[in-house]
Amino acid sequence: MKEYLVQRRRRVAEKLSLGDDILVVGAGEHLSIPGGADQTYKFIPHSEYRYLADRAVPSAVVAYDANGGWVDFLPPVTEAERIWEGREPVEWTDARPLTELPAWIAARRGRRVVNLGSGVKEAELSRGDTGWKPVPQEEVPQGEGPQRTVPQGVAGEARVAEVREMLMQARRCKDDVEMARIRKAVSATVFGFKKARETIAVGATERRIQVEMEAEFYRRGADRTGYGTIVGSGPNSAILHFDPSAREVRAGELVLIDAGAEIEGYTADVTRTYAAEGPPQGFAGELYGVVLRAQIAAIKRCTAGAEFREIHMAAARDMAQGMVEIGVLKGNAAELVDRDAHAMFFPHGLGHLVGLGVRDASGYLPGRERSTRFGLAYLRIDMPLQANYVVTIEPGLYFIPAILQDPERRKTFADAVNWPLVDKNMQLGGVRIEDDVLVTNGPPEVLTKEVGK
């Protein structure tokens, strides 16, 4: 096994508090395309398995027993797979055949199984006379330490969530191999955005911009895109997850692009907002300036130990102040944020962790809950940042009719919003600027700075 995986698994083992439980992590299975006869979607392993095994092998399993260490189980390659897919057996000399997994479980009879990843099917765990059987969680005796004895069974949802959180904590700090892959993905993404910028012109379709950009990703080594590419022109730029369409860019319109290349499982995540002809002008240019200044300030706050929720709220105040200055909001910026008036235009969180997937190991620290506040409900991470986290910083301001034309919100914020100005610009769309930022023990590093602004 490669040394970086040995070290990675050692770090994970030190984080896990399994007691006498054993851990199995499944890669997942091929998913059939509905109505697609024998076709399947491209296989993407569960991120928990990919992190621990660094392979994309359907049906594979990584297992861990604190008393015996890590074990890999691989399925055989069938003749049909060799004929139709060109698959060859995985050369992994220290792995065991998947058929031995039930016996491995049986040898640990009386201990609970924590099932992570895509979840290993009960049929795989219990094939043959292994003595394994599912036990309702409420029937499992409680106790502490490795001396407890429990009936054989699968851990309940609460225990699975607890162990999953431990694994996520171990995954959040990126190691050298992960950072090298992220930087490769960033490099391909930079070239893709440069191509997209060259393609944007009056008459170019959103789809054409997408195709030209993604083609450049692949030319530069991408395996795939890290997520569905977003290209929205004009009013479509206010739709947060917009699928590119055949709509043509018109003179003076904004074009919002959110995309990233993925290499060896690791992705970049970048957003830029351009205008069809040169830099954004007029009111759109003022809006762009508010977002850009807020983003620059937020990036500087991404230091080890800083609470991400506080960075988000500071960015909200910065943008509220900017919107007051350009006439969109009325009043004191801090008070407007306290009322969530800013969320009429900035309805999402400031960012999330990124790496092995577009929201890699994001979430909340145990004990913290998602807020029901309009201005905080979509915060994707709530934790202090640490060195070697990679986080996106993506403030945005949008004119979203579904929000701004809601009668109740208009009533609530009647005194806080310049409604005539808003109505005049309802079809403007939106501005978002996003970069990937490496948190260090010193100043943050903007990994995606070469995309330009």
* Encoded amino acid at 322, one letter: G
- Burial class from Cβ neighbours inside 10 Å (0-12, 13-18, 19+) for residue 56 reads middle
pLDDT digits (tens, 9 = 90+) for 339-378: 999 999 999 999 999 999 999 999 999 999 999 999 999 9
Report all structural domains of the chain as residue ranges with CATH numbers, in order of start: 3-172 (3.40.350.10), 176-451 (3.90.230.10)
Element (H, E) at 316: helix 308-325
Q: Closest Cα partner for 364 from 430, 308, 323?
A: 308
CA atoms within 13 A on the CB side of 7: 8
Query: Rounded to an integer, what distance in angstroms lies between the CA atom of residue 195 and that of residue 221?
Result: 15
- Residue 125 dihedral angles phi and psi, to the nearest 5°: -70, -30
Other CB atoms within a 10 A radius of the CB of residue 452 amount to: 10
Query: Rounded to an integer, what distance in angstroms lies between the CA atom of residue 298 and that of residue 315?
Result: 6
Provide mean pLDDT across the span 181-207: 98
DSSP characters over 247-265: PBP-TT-EEEEEE-EEETT
Task: Give the global pTM.
Answer: 0.92
Provide mean pLDDT across the span 98-119: 92
pLDDT of amino acid 110: 87
DSSP characters over 346-361: --S-S--B-BSBTTTT
Contacts of 294 (CB under 8 A, 6+ apart): 315, 318, 319, 322, 395
pLDDT digits (tens, 9 = 90+) for 306-343: 999 999 999 999 999 999 999 999 999 999 999 999 99
pLDDT digits (tens, 9 = 90+) for 222-250: 999 999 999 999 999 999 999 999 999 99
